[in-house]
Structure 1
Amino acid sequence: MLAARSLRALGARSLAARGTQSRLAAQKLPVVATQTRNFALAHKTEIDDERMPTTYADYSNHVLLMLSAHGDDQAIRERMVRDVMKVDGVDHVEAEGKVGEIEQAAKAGLAMSRLPYRVGIAAALVAGFGSIPMCFDLHTVLWFNEQYVTMDVEDAKNLETWLEVGSWSWNWMEPPLGQASFFLLCLQYSRDQMKNIGMKTYTERVKDKRGAKLVEKFPQYNGIVVAEFGRTIMDSG
């Protein structure tokens, strides 16, 4: 029995000693690990600064593919440049010149393709800013009422402030503004549902058409790269 107690006591002391050593090691480990990590980070930063890419031409093909998949126009252009380099066997500078020619070909007829968008932008700006005096400016409201509405004019005491003018003009301004808002809301809803079921919107169809034409004009290059490059021309300034 005495021997058993001695063995248990010895085992307990041994476990306690091991626990103390483990705690000491654990306390020292973060310091060593932190120093090693900081040294490695400083060394890595030094190397990265030396090799840091400064232009899209410095990126690898894998990085360019990832960027172009997210719609980066410059990455898509650089992929086009590299495809020209591969097919024509030229350097980067000469390939840039060839891509410039392809870009000019892609811009042919671009003004007509953008015309509906420009008309929509102009109409929205004119209607948006024009609705303010049409609702709240007394002289504009009186003129429009006389020319197109012919509603009885309110008493002068009821048209003393711009809010009172707006309250009166809203009798005929509410229907067109409300109808226009509802019409645009329906168009937006329709566009969202088209995208939900995989249908192409008008803009996507225009881009696809321009990309397809560019592929037909330059069949010697990769069709996917050329079509993608042609689609981005619609978004360029």
Structure 2
Amino acid sequence: METGTTVLSAQKVSKNYKGFQALRNVDLDVRQGSIHGVIGPNGAGKTTLMNVLTCTVRPSQGRVCLDGKDVTGHPAAQVAELGLVRSFQICAVFPHLTVLQNVRLALQRVKGGSFAFWAHSKALRHLDERAMALLHDVGLDTFAKRPAAQLSYGRKRALEFATTLAADPRVLLLDEPMAGLGVEEIPRLAALIRRFADGRTVVLVEHHLPAIAELCDRVTVLNRGQVLITGTYNDVARHDEVRRAYLGRGTLVSGEATK
């Protein structure tokens, strides 16, 4: 449930690439404790916006603020340390490590210790309790000793989510987390996102519109690098220009949203 306080914002952000304008005067206000969706057709500028928000790309103009402080141009690692963490479209796990070892490695990095690959496993057992708690949260505790390579794609996504949660982010940017998931796996991940968002803030870039309709408090629609509208899902689903830009003149979701 959103509180109304803006925790992350883009203010008049534009990004040019050698004459191509990927973003144009984009304003985005993400409220504390909300799940804020970002949708739009391919090429709308969604990934560029995520890159700008996480400071992996510097905007050509405009600024990005986190907790009211201008972080434009800050190193991406510094912004991550401030609590803004991103999960990418491509699933990133260490396939030959066990599920537990993947999460334990993430915890090593967060706690400031060296990775110490040469150390005996007993030296890292103090991290196991927290790692197992994270695996329990994402429904993978029974898979802890299994090599990550043996997991289904959906469970690899859940493992990546656990390693991301190891950083204890306050604001989490999810870039198409449903991509590649089977129909039966999407509800499980949607429930995980909702559980994580309790007391935290999520920015969700996603093409799976039923998930956007179910999860998001507010939705921003991008097209050709510009914001068409920001509002509730039902607001944007009824917007004529959004329908034309995104899916033609049909509804965004059959039967529209129930929220």
TM-score range, shorter chain: under 0.3
The one of the two structures with greater contact order (alpha-carbon pairs below 8 A, sep at least 6) is 2
Kindly indicate which of the two structures has a greater share of residues assigned to strand.
2
Kindly indicate which of the two structures has a greater share of residues assigned to helix.
1
Q: Which has the larger radius of gyration?
A: 1
* TM-score, length-scaled by structure 2: 0.22
* TM-score, length-scaled by structure 1: 0.23
